């Protein structure tokens, strides 16, 4: 049964969880201290975005024939 490997599904799920966690953390931190954001939230956002891009296969090398 061809399809998406379970490791890819797990990677995409973790990436989505990191992105949602980053948004929640950033909004929570913004209410507590409106002058500054959260570095942790930004790091989670970047890591989640990279994992999402990798999970979607956009970093795979595909040479032109």
pLDDT at 1 over 60: no
Crossing angle (nearest 10°) for helices 6-32 and 39-55: 160
Q: Please check the confidence at residue 13 and state whether its pLDDT lies above 80.
A: yes
Record the pTM. 0.81
Q: Are 9 and 51 in contact (CB under 8 A)?
A: no
pLDDT in tens, 17-26: 999 999 999 8
């Amino acid at each position: 049964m061809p399809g998406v490997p379970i490791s890819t599904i797990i990677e995409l799920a973790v990436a989505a969880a990191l992105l949602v966690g980053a948004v929640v953390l950033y909004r929570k931190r913004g209410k507590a201290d409106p002058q500054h954001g959260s570095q942790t939230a930004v790091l989670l956002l970047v890591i989640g975005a990279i994992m999402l891009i990798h999970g979607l296969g956009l970093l795979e090398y595909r040479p032109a024939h």
